[in-house]
Structure 1
Amino acid sequence: MRHLRALCAIADAGSLHKAARQLGMSQPSLTTQLRRIENSLGAELFSRGRTGCRPTPLGRSLLSRARPLVADMAALVTETRAAAARAAGPGLRVGSTASRALPGWLRRLRQRLPGTEVGLRVDVSAHGLLRMVAAGQLDVAFVHEVEGCPLRVPEGLVERVLVAREPQFVSMARDHPAAARPVVDLTDLADDHWMVDPTVDGEWDGLRRVLHAAGIDPPLLHGDYHTAASLIVLGEAVAPCQPTSGPRDDMAVRPLRGDPLAVRLLLYARPGAPLDVLYAELAAAYREAALRATPYREWLRSQGTAAGLSVGPCLTAV
């Protein structure tokens, strides 16, 4: 079944790179898996070219029989997990991409829903979390959507928009020349190494688009943001970051002029989840995190309500 899911993902994505990201694995691992499948069958299932992967006639025949099997297995797993969850008693399974609002949200949910066990899964992939909600593995997911890189949302999920456009700031060493200014131009960072996590859905594509629009082509480093932090404080790199990032003595967080980098913050839930409660408590937790971060608080003050910032029912520029 794992092989069949991989074949369907490759066909749907049209490329090994995109399919690997959807499946939460590396492209070399997926390439190796496809090669093993084809070797075992003795024939190619996909033709590879500069434009991506396309099923061969044999591949199309196999996919026509594989898709119903994959769908039936997904439905069986979803129904079984739902039955197990009902038998286990009241619980709330929360998924989230990284967010400074997450601790406050969990605290508020446990206070608002006493007697309900609140579980948590944090993942860099918004697409992975949404698939888990659709499959019944999670009840709700709080995710971000990089501007210009829309998420592929499974059918049947209920959506609430928490923040229509959250600006992304940039983190740099405290002694970086640009850190002396309250607002930074992208061109001021043209000679810096930029670090980005390519496993975060849309992150690399969104940053590349913005840098290209600014007419700069800085050297890039790929890695997770925990590694990035250690390089940033040494002055070896700069990186995009959430505006709610907390203060550090060895790192500066600054807004970018014109706010070229942005995301939407979205809440998705399965039908029947207590969405109003989930949304209200998340909005309150986000407000706390936003106003606690000095650069973001000052940015909100400078923008006022004219910026069109739509953040829940309770976040306003103060």
Structure 2
Amino acid sequence: MELEVRHLRALCAIADTGSLHRAARQLGVAQPSLSTQLRRIEQELGGALFTRERTGCRPTALGRVVLGRARPLVAEMRSLVAEARAAAADGPQLRIGSTASRALAGWLRRLRARSQEPILQMDVSANALLRMLADGQLDIAFVHEVEGSPLRIPDGLRLRVLVEREPQFVSLPTDHPAAARPVVRLAELAHDRWMVDPTVDGEWDAVHRMLRSAGLSPRILHGDYHTAASLVATGEVVTVCQPTCLSRSEMAVRRIQGDPLGVRLLLAARMQADLDSVYPDLEEAYWETARQSPGYREWLKKRGAPPERDAPMYVHVST
């Protein structure tokens, strides 16, 4: 006899109801049939899984071990069936993983317009998203690779470069003296507290390198993007940010002189067809967002139009 999911489901039902009679009703089978099935399972596993008492059935020590492994398998199967039924009813859903980007809204909107219903998984760690992609938990990953800190690319993934080097800007309070100019020198921020998110792969090291190269050793606080934005607005810190970020009444986004810090923007997938199907929408959404940021738009203008029509840039990682 080979154990199947239905056998594990029967064991869970007996344990949950505490009775062969109630478990049989729950499973929609006759009690004698369930009793016979249980005896065969116990013979296969080499020991009793339940003690039969007047008050019902209780798992034995062996039963508790088996149930500990059976329950997650049964739950996973329920999830699989539910997702499959949802996909059959609503069409295939595209599982996208992404680090933070203002281009996401436009990208998802374009995918929906083409009847590709996306499910979004956000994570500050690009390496974590790439592992999920390699493990089959995601179909696509849009990630940022911080300069000087190469990502750990699992074997077998296909990559396409969206932007080879996106300069990182700085956000600072609007009443900061340096905010009066479109380009900020790092020396002007020497006496400010900086906030860095240490959970972003490579960001801590990159910011430290940038500041050391400028001869600075400011006080550095740890915090996520949302905390950093709040503290910038109240004048507590300054922080690096993506050039697509928009200035607000209490926060200014400015270019850093010399563009000392950059990231590479990558789209990854296991299948080349998946990569090709979603890349054009991401590219269009990104450049739309880029042009909405005055500082980044000016930076791009000085370097020529963004390479929207350039030949595609592929990176293949062999298995």
TM-score for the superposition, normalised by structure 1: 0.68
Aligned to 1:95: 97
Matches of residues 14-163 of structure 1 in structure 2 within 5 Å?
88-89=87-88, 90-112=92-114, 114=115, 116-163=116-163
Q: Which amino acid aligns with 1:250?
A: E
Report the structure number with the largest CA radius of gyration: 2
Aligned to 1:73: none
Is 1:292 equivalent to 2:259 in the alignment? no
Deviation at 1:230, TM superposition (A): 1.2
Is 1:271 equivalent to 2:271 in the alignment? yes
Distance 1:127 1:312, change over 3 A: farther
SS at match of 1:240: strand
Deviation at 1:82, TM superposition (A): 9.2
Deviation at 1:163, TM superposition (A): 0.2
After superposition, the C-alpha distances for 1:114-159 in whole angstroms (9 at most, x for unaligned) are: 1x43111011000010000000000000000000000000000110
Deviation at 1:233, TM superposition (A): 1.1
Aligned to 1:222: 222
Distance 1:272 1:184, change over 3 A: closer
User: 1:205, 1:135 → 2: CA distance?
Assistant: 28
* Count of residues in Structure 1 that have an aligned counterpart in Structure 2: 232
Q: Which amino acid aligns with 2:303?
A: Q
Aligned to 1:252: 252
Distance 1:275 1:81, change over 3 A: farther
CA-atom RMSD, angstroms? 2.4
Aligned to 1:202: 202
Matches of residues 186-197 of structure 1 in structure 2 within 5 Å?
186-197=186-197
User: 2:309, 2:133 → 1: CA distance?
Assistant: 22
User: 2:238, 2:217 → 1: CA distance?
Assistant: 14
After superposition, the C-alpha distances for 1:268-297 in whole angstroms (9 at most, x for unaligned) are: 011154222211000000011000111111
User: 1:277, 1:292 → 2: CA distance?
Assistant: 25
Distance 1:197 1:150, change over 3 A: same
User: 1:197, 1:83 → 2: CA distance?
Assistant: 38
Deviation at 1:313, TM superposition (A): 4.5
User: 2:308, 2:206 → 1: CA distance?
Assistant: 22
Q: Which amino acid aligns with 1:197?
A: D
SS at match of 1:245: coil
User: 1:83, 1:159 → 2: CA distance?
Assistant: 31
The runs of 5 or more residues in structure 1 that have no matched partner are 1-79
Q: Which amino acid aligns with 1:110?
A: R
Deviation at 1:229, TM superposition (A): 1.0
Deviation at 1:91, TM superposition (A): 1.8
Distance 1:293 1:212, change over 3 A: same
User: 2:94, 2:261 → 1: CA distance?
Assistant: 33
After superposition, the C-alpha distances for 1:82-130 in whole angstroms (9 at most, x for unaligned) are: 9997674422100100000000000001112x1x431110110000100
Deviation at 1:300, TM superposition (A): 1.3
Aligned residues of 1:147 and 1:206 also touching (Cα < 8 A): yes
Greater mean deviation of Cα atoms: 137-146 or 271-280: 271-280
SS at match of 1:172: strand
User: 1:82, 1:312 → 2: CA distance?
Assistant: 40
Distance 1:81 1:267, change over 3 A: farther
SS at match of 2:184: coil
Deviation at 1:81, TM superposition (A): 9.5
Q: Which amino acid aligns with 1:230?
A: S
- Give the percent of matched residue pairs that are identical in Structure 1 and Structure 2: 61
TM-score for the superposition, normalised by structure 2: 0.68
Aligned residues of 1:81 and 1:137 also touching (Cα < 8 A): no
Q: Which amino acid aligns with 1:95?
A: G
The runs of 5 or more residues in structure 2 that have no matched partner are 1-77, 312-319
Aligned residues of 1:172 and 1:235 also touching (Cα < 8 A): yes
SS at match of 1:142: strand
